[in-house]
Copies of this chain bind each other. A is one copy, B any other.
Amino acid sequence: MPTPSTPRSDRSSSSTTKEKILDAAEELFSELGYDATSLRAVTKTAGVNLAAVNYHCGSKLGLFRAIFERRIGPLNRERLAALERARERVGEGKVIPLGEVLRAFFEAPVRMAAREDPGFRRFLRIAGRMQSASGDHANALVPVFAEVREHFHAALRAALPHLDDRDFSWRLHLLIGAMCTLFADPQRIAILSQGHCDPENPDEVLAQLIAFGKGALGAPSKEPLDEDGAAEGPA
């Protein structure tokens, strides 16, 4: 029963074995997926012994969970804090405007991915892929997003009184799917848009996500009866 209380007193020389493993696994999982990544490839990339991952994480599934344990806390905290700031800004009982809620929802992951640490970007890619994955490793982290989801669900619901429950659920689900697709492979849009879009620019990504989300969530509830479905967007 190894319960590493104080892993190392001196970690000046690079990093812990476990951190090296997590970094390597993050990289490989994000590029190859869970199944296609072998522990041998992980330990080789990390420059550690094969048995180290079982020692530090217990199993391959434990390694996957450990990746999330390292990153999900800061991300969730930042998201909820941003929502709280928005709530304080508008006042106690007031409804937070849609754009503000969406900004609070998108800003943390976008900004954190843009900061120098490439590990977080890779983590986001893994997380985005889990939206449409199955298996133990995917099921293991359903609860991990539950709290954030509930808070933003409530805030968005309040900002969208014109929608009934069904419309609201549909749109929120689709919007999260759009976000996850973006996170799952940011480079794809750079290629498909032939360079028009720059997924490396956090301001651009954020602005686009918010504009997209506002339009999608804020669209009218029931289709107006006129048949021509021309864009009613531009004021």
Instruction: List chain A positions with a Cβ less than 8 A from chain B.
Output: 31-33, 35-36, 97-100, 102-103, 128-129, 131-135, 159-160, 162, 165-167, 169-171, 173-182, 184-185, 188-189, 192-193, 196-197, 204, 207-221, 223-224, 228-235
Contact = CB atoms under 8 A, between A and B. Distances in A.
A26 to B, nearest CB: 15
A229 B99 contact: yes
B231 A162 contact: yes
Given A36-B135, A174-B212, A193 B169 contact: yes
Contacts of A180: 132, 177, 181
Q: Taking the full assembly, how many copies of this chain does it contain?
A: 2
Nearest to A188: B173
8 contacts: A98-B229, A99-B229, A170-B193, A173-B189, A174-B182, A181-B181, A218-B219, A218-B234
A129 B134 CA distance: 10
A233 B208 contact: no
Contact of A235 (B102, B185, B224): B224
Nearest to A131: B181
Given A197-B170, A229-B98, A223 B235 contact: no
Contacts of A228: 97, 99
B189 A169 contact: yes
A214 B192 contact: no
Contacts of A178: 174-175, 177-178, 181, 216
A148 to B, nearest CB: 13
Given A128-B132, A132-B128, A235-B224, A181 B171 contact: no
A111 B218 CA distance: 26
A166 to B, nearest CB: 5
A128 B174 CA distance: 13
B35 A166 contact: no
A166 B204 CA distance: 10
Contacts of A215: 171, 215-220, 233
Contacts of A131: 132, 181, 184-185
A224 B210 CA distance: 13
Contact of A132 (B132, B169, B193, B235): B132
